[in-house]
Amino acid sequence: MEKKRVIVTERIAEEGVKLLKTELEVDYRDGISREELLQIIDQYDALIVRSVTKVNEELISRASRLKVVGRAGNGVDNIDVEVCTRYGVIVANTPDSNTISAAEQTISLLLSSARNTAWANSFVKGGTWDRKPFRGVELYGKTVGIVGLGRIGSMVATRLKAFNMKVIAYDPYITDERFERFGAEKKNTLEELMQEADFITVHTPRNEETMHMINEKMLALAKDGVRMVNCARGGIIDEGALLQGLEQGKIGSAGLDVFEKEPATNNPLFTFNNVVCTPHLGADTYEAQKRVGENIAEQVIKALRGDIVPNMVNLPTMLSEELDYLRPYILLAEKMGSFYYQLEKSPVSRVELTYSGPISMNETEILTVSFLKGLFKPIMDEKVNYVNARLVAEDRGVQVYEKKEGQSAKRYKNVVTAKIYNHSHHLDIAGTVSRARDPLLVEINGYETETGLEGFVIMVENRDRPRVIGPFATALGDEGVNIASMKVARKTRGETAIMLINVDNKVEDSILEKLKGLDGIMGRPRLLEF
């Protein structure tokens, strides 16, 4: 089988390249020109970039084979995610890979600026031994304000708790449970945080909302001598306001790893002895770069296999523990979606999905798109994926509705229920996950069952009376078909029942046609594949 191809247009760690080569044909072209890339991009299934290569519609429209763009790093400023989504191209990054390094760099700059370490270092090396100019402050007992309690912000909180600091935080997009988990006192407004904090560190993405969010007005609210750290993105702290605060003595010190304009040269902030500056080193450790290379390689390989990609930018990003919890339900949702077109031919008009039980407390968007992926894959093959499944539904005029219920009405802790409508009737199915974390069908059109959704399943309606089930099973055995398990369900005694039979191998159409003629069998048995 011919290997799929990936082109790497910027430098990644050698470990990442080696991992890619285990499954893919790798074209490592660090520094390739834009013109050449545009000419050859249609030859590749995957593209890996850092921050230089511009992934826009000009490029994507020529990339007829492209299925995934991997960003070796966190930000995706150079990638038009909306365009990629429209073309069904997965965008993945590595937000966790440099988390530890960025958190440690934050602590480093906070300590260095609080104790005037960099200034003292240059003094001593310059031949002067004098400690008087360098008296600093302790972290012990002080209040640190963290703006953004995501991955890096929460790590910083954990580490600063060890210094016996009081941790307060502002993040309107984080649940109260997360504040409690990391021991941070929640502040409902940025103004509250500015007024209370002795140290302030920012850990948000840079966008329209966060650009210059800490400005002259905000700094006016801060305590005199407040100390600022920015290891996130340049511009979150307004450099003009920061400069003015330093000149006026309002700001006691600053630690800066990022700047509004990079590369930063001749920046007026460099003239202050109480400002520690580094050239965007947050992710620049050996360990982080190794993780970035390996993680983006893993994600690209997963995407090309058709597996779940943990850090898809086109979908809500989940914490790894949340993804681990949802993973079997993601598989369940996809298998439930695949039911319809194995049983029906009429186009779908509407889908109603209900998530019941503790599962409803999680981000369920990935479950919905997994269901849609399973629904459309039988009629679209590889053209539908986790990224474009919603767009496919929209293009086909399928309305998608979702509902969450805190408690399941059925006897299972967590249940996913789907109603799939066409122009004349609808298919109702419900599923859950077994103790072994395997997908189970628990109801179909009102018939209760517990059928494993793995391999091949024969589904057949039958008369609810004696001497129907036994002869049917015997006939399967006579044709060399081994039954792995069988579930029989009925609604009303003596009327129509349903058999769901897991078998070890595919059953030929000719055999199904024979089974149709058995006494008590209502219609041709259906063979479903999962």
189 in Cβ contact with 213 (< 8 Å) = no
CA dihedral for 455, 456, 461, 465, sign (positive or negative): negative
> Rounded CA gap, 451 and 453, in Å?
6
Longest CA–CA separation in the chain, Å: 103
372 in Cβ contact with 400 (< 8 Å) = yes
Tell me whether strands 143-147 and 166-170 are parallel, antiparallel or unpaired: parallel
- The region that residue 121 occupies, defined by phi over 0 for left and psi between -120 and 50 for alpha, beta otherwise, is alpha
- Candidates 233, 239, 334, 390; catalytic one: 233
What are the backbone dihedrals phi and psi of residue 228, each rounded to the nearest 5 degrees, phi first? -115, 145
> Rounded CA gap, 350 and 505, in Å?
33
Please name which of 404, 121, 468, 58 lies closest in space to residue 276, comparing C-alpha atoms: 121
- Candidates 36, 180, 262, 287; catalytic one: 262
CB burial class (10 A; 0-12, 13-18, 19+) of residue 29? middle
Helices assigned H by DSSP within 197-273: 216-221, 239-247
Query: Residues near 321 by Cβ (< 8 Å), separated by ≥ 6?
Result: none
Which structure tokens are listed for 173? 């997009």
Whether 233 is catalytic is: yes
> Rounded CA gap, 122 and 277, in Å?
13
Please tell me whether residue 124 adopts helix, strand or coil conformation: helix
> Rounded CA gap, 419 and 400, in Å?
10
Whether 65 is catalytic is: no
Please name which of 342, 336, 343, 350 lies closest in space to residue 423, comparing C-alpha atoms: 350
- Candidates 62, 86, 280, 463; catalytic one: 280
Report which residue type is found at 145: G
HSE, side-chain direction, 13 A CA sphere, residue 430? 20
Please name which of 212, 208, 205 lies closest in space to residue 190, comparing C-alpha atoms: 212
> Rounded CA gap, 312 and 148, in Å?
21
Whether 262 is catalytic is: yes
Catalogue the active-site residues: 233, 262, 280
